[in-house]
């Protein structure tokens, strides 16, 4: 956002000073154009180059959440609108700066204990209020704690917050210095905010960050595995009781933290000898304690592997428990097989399309023609494209939610069936029936079975939790799952054959293999259930997130993510068979296994411009067959069809890559918005970027 807005009017406010600037746009000091006695405000303006509907919705999400939160310690939103093409919202002005400003002024010295507890109490009250409404901040840090004219702390910046039951899998978003261990794995809960508040408490009481490193992933490693230096080793004046409270809130396992934020704050106040009545307190004059000797951090006992990477060892026992040992030597990276020779890395770019042996020709495009309503991931079957719709507005009307069937060659609408809720994933088609999951993201779900030729309803079944993932169909049986349950239904009549409840949240789509349904949870456990009866057949716990189960030469292997690589575990006993180093962050929320080969994308940084790579890995050995470099981050797990890997990226491209050699076959842009995972079948490729696009594949 340029300075062209300065001294201009936006809505009811004249922008008199720019207070800050970022990638999203700018924040201005605003004054009411007519009512001069109105207090000044902060006006947050979106960069006009970011104008897709998805970006607008994301920008206004903060205003919508703040509007729900009325609390004296939460920044209040006053207005939100789009004025002459500029999206903006207006919030109260925090005239006394941020906690980050005060920490910088402190220059490494601790805050006075009572001042630190006052700030932590006010922020804790705000967080508890948000948590009571099932809203998680997930980016708590000193820069997002502001102070008003009365010097009260205000919790701000809910731009990436999430509301429980309104989201599926959560991206790894936040500020690494203050992120909870589980947040680096894409897991989030109210106790993640508690850990972040404890990081702030540590900094206030010691003048030191909990962990520091040049690489954000090294910081992540420390959050996950390294114990914090005790507070009293830095600031000996801190009471032991205070130290124990903060360390408990910093527990690596979130179950070991306090039950909620309020309990954490009460424990802090009791340890400090203060009243547990957490009413507003008169702020003290802000001063810096300069009488504390700062002790440098001692060297850690952890071993550093090659290139400075910490490489933990997986020590898995057969009783389903695990422990983490740090070896004196790093775990070796998998090596290329003699058959394939040295592993090579190839850059995937549009220039490679000149030698393409795969060609995509655009056939047609189709829009929903409804405001804020978009197509979800499509499915292709027998030359027809099946796709559902969803809306990003709560003010939907009849017709916003549909399942459509279109002719793949012409785009002609053959039938449309109205459903009661949004469709967020691809339908499944089997034996002339279309199975589609629908959901209200904050409530229940419903699966429909429709005649693939006519769109007539055959049966429907409701569930207590949202159904956000695609159904799976095998041998006349439909498998669907929610956060805490797996349902197995008869494909013809929808009758429930069996169902199981899962205490831990289901992490990845169930895998159907050799008469067993494998279910992975966010706590790193994998369960094997009999496909016919649902009876428990096997289970084990492991380190990291389990993304898929696949068939290997000598049995079934569970593939998960640990530290900076994938590992393959023997399902029968949990023994780790191999470990293959990849980049530091998995892309696309999953991986694909086809013909004993794993295809997975990962990248080495948080931004979309970070290096993105696609790996082909042998499931039997963990050896990397090839690595291809992409220009942008993968949106979803790759699609494999006729020995070609198709992957869509955030930059709006679809790449087709030879599955055997990793060579680029073709690359094309499908638009400026994030595309869905492509559907590939019957000589067609379909992808949605809000609108639906179809291509002929030759």
| DSSP secondary structure letters along 571-582 | TTT--EEEEEE-
- Predicted confidence band of residue 306 (pLDDT cuts 50, 70, 90): very low
What's the mean pLDDT in 218-226? 88
Contact 138, 183 (CB under 8 A): yes
What's the mean pLDDT in 374-395? 90
With 50 as the cut, is the pLDDT of residue 527 above it? yes
**487 token code pair:** 């349902």
pTM: 0.54
Angle formed at CA 205 by CA 200 and CA 210, multiple of 5 degrees? 50
What DSSP line would sit under 250-272, residue for residue? T-SSGGGS-SSHHHHHHHHHHHT
pLDDT value, residue 605: 56
Tokens 């491209």 found at? 653
What's the mean pLDDT in 168-192? 75
What's the mean pLDDT in 283-304? 30
What's the mean pLDDT in 27-35? 88
CA 459 – CA 546 distance, rounded (Å): 33
- Catalytic annotation present for 79: no
- Predicted confidence band of residue 283 (pLDDT cuts 50, 70, 90): very low
**336 token code pair:** 């290329």
Judged by average pLDDT, the poorest of 153-157, 159-163, 418-422, 643-647 is 159-163
Long-range contacts of 313-317 (CB under 8 A, 24+ apart): 314/542, 314/543, 314/562, 314/567, 314/576, 314/579, 316/540, 316/542, 316/543, 316/569, 316/574, 316/575, 316/576, 317/574
C-alpha to C-alpha distances, 113 to 119, 128, 148, 270, nearest whole angstrom: 10, 22, 21, 13
For the stretch 145-168, pLDDT in tens is 999 888 899 998 775 455 543 333
- Largest separation between any pair of C-alpha atoms in the chain: 79
CA 210 – CA 230 distance, rounded (Å): 10
What structural domains and CATH numbers belong to the chain? 3-92 (3.30.200.20), 99-301 (1.10.510.10), 378-541 (2.130.10.10)
- Predicted confidence band of residue 370 (pLDDT cuts 50, 70, 90): confident
CA 514 – CA 531 distance, rounded (Å): 9
pLDDT value, residue 353: 36
* Bridge partners, 32 (sequence order): 13
For the stretch 659-689, pLDDT in tens is 999 998 988 888 777 899 999 999 999 999 9
% pLDDT > 70, the chain: 79
With 80 as the cut, is the pLDDT of residue 443 above it? no
What's the mean pLDDT in 19-38? 80
Residue 66 sits at φ, ψ, to 5 deg, of -60, -30
Supply the angle between the helices 113-132 and 261-271 in degrees, to the nearest 10: 160
Contact 188, 195 (CB under 8 A): no
| HSE-CB for 479 with a 13 A CA cutoff | 20
C-alpha to C-alpha distances, 215 to 211, 309, 607, 652, nearest whole angstrom: 11, 10, 13, 28
The enclosing H or E element of 100 equals: helix 99-106
Residue 209 buriedness (CB in 10 A; 0-12 / 13-18 / 19+) = middle
pLDDT value, residue 682: 94
- Predicted confidence band of residue 21 (pLDDT cuts 50, 70, 90): confident
Among candidate residues 97, 99, 103, the one with its CA nearest the CA of residue 209? 103
- Predicted confidence band of residue 330 (pLDDT cuts 50, 70, 90): very low
Contact 477, 497 (CB under 8 A): yes
CA 626 – CA 610 distance, rounded (Å): 20
**65 token code pair:** 């959440």
CA 536 – CA 591 distance, rounded (Å): 26
Query: Which among 105, 139, 451, 490 is annotated as catalytic?
Result: 139
CA 346 – CA 177 distance, rounded (Å): 33
Q: What is the dihedral of CA 221, 222, 223, 228, to 10 degrees?
A: 170
Which one-letter DSSP state was computed for residue 223?
H
């Amino acid at each position: 956002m340029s300075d062209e807005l300065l001294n201009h009017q936006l809505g009811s406010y004249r922008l008199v000073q720019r207070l800050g600037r970022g990638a999203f746009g700018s924040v201005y000091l605003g004054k009411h154009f007519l009512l001069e006695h109105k207090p000044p405000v902060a006006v947050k303006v979106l960069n006009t180059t970011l104008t897709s509907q998805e970006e607008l919705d994301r920008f206004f999400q903060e205003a919508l959440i703040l509007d729900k939160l009325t609390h004296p310690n939460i920044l209040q939103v006053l207005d939100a609108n789009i004025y002459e093409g500029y999206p903006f919202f207006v919030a109260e002005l925090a005239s006394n700066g941020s906690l980050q400003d005060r920490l910088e002024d402190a220059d490494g010295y601790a805050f006075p204990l009572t001042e630190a507890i006052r700030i932590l109490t006010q922020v804790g009250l705000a967080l508890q209020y948000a948590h009571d409404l099932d809203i998680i901040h997930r980016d708590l840090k000193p820069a997002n704690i502001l102070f008003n004219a009365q010097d009260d702390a205000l919790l701000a910046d809910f731009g990436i917050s999430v509301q429980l039951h309104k989201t599926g899998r959560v991206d790894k978003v936040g500020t690494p210095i203050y992120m909870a261990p589980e947040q680096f794995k894409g897991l989030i809960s109210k106790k993640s905010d508690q850990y972040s508040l404890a990081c702030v408490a540590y900094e206030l009481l010691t003048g030191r960050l909990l962990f520091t490193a040049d690489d954000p992933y090294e910081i992540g490693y420390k959050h996950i595995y390294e114990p914090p230096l005790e507070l009293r080793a830095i600031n000996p004046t801190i009471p032991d009781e205070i130290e124990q409270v903060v360390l408990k809130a910093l527990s690596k396992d979130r179950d070991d933290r306090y039950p909620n934020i309020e309990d954490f704050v009460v424990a802090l106040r009791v340890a400090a000898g203060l009243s547990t009545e957490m009413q507003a307190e008169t702020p003290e004059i802000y001063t810096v304690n300069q009488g504390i000797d700062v002790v440098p951090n001692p060297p850690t006992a952890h071993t550093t592997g090659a290139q400075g990477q910490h490489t933990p060892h997986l020590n898995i026992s057969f009783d389903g428990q695990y422990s983490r040992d740090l070896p004196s030597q790093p775990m070796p990276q998998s090596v290329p097989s003699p058959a394939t020779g040295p592993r090579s890395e190839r850059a995937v770019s549009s220039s490679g399309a000149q030698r393409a042996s795969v060609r995509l020709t655009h056939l047609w495009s189709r829009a929903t023609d409804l405001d804020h309503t978009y197509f979800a991931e499509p499915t292709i079957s027998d030359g027809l494209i099946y796709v559902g719709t969803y809306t990003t507005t709560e003010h939907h009307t009849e017709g916003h939610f549909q399942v459509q069937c279109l002719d793949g060659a012409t785009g002609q609408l053959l039938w449309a069936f109205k459903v009661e809720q949004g469709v967020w994933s691809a339908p499944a088609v089997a034996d002339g029936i279309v199975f589609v999951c629908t959901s209200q993201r904050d409530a229940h779900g419903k699966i429909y079975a429709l005649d693939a030729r006519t769109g007539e309803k055959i049966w429907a079944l409701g569930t207590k939790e949202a159904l956000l993932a695609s159904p799976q169909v095998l041998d006349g049986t439909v498998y669907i799952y929610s956060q805490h349950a797996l349902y197995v239904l008869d494909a013809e009549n929808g009758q429930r054959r069996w169902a199981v409840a899962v205490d831990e949240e289901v992490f990845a789509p169930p895998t159907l293999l050799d008469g067993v349904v494998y279910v992975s949870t966010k706590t790193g456990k994998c369960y094997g259930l009999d496909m016919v009866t649902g009876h428990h057949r096997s289970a084990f716990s492991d380190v990291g997130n389990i993304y898929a189960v696949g068939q290997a030469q000598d049995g079934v292997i569970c593939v998960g993510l640990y530290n900076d690589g994938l590992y393959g575990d023997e399902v029968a006993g949990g023994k780790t068979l191999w470990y293959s180093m990849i980049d530091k962050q998995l892309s696309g929320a999953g991986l694909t296994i086809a013909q004993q080969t794993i295809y997975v994308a990962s990248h080495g940084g948080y931004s979309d411009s970070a290096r993105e790579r696609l790996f082909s890995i042998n499931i039997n050995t963990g050896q990397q067959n090839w690595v291809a470099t992409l220009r942008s981050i993968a949106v979803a797990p790759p699609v494999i069809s006729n020995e070609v890997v198709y992957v869509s990226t955030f930059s709006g491209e679809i790449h087709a890559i030879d599955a055997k050699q990793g060579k680029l076959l073709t690359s094309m842009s499908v638009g400026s918005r994030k595309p869905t995972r492509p559907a590939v079948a019957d000589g067609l490729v379909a992808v949605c970027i809000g609108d639906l696009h179809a291509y002929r594949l030759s």
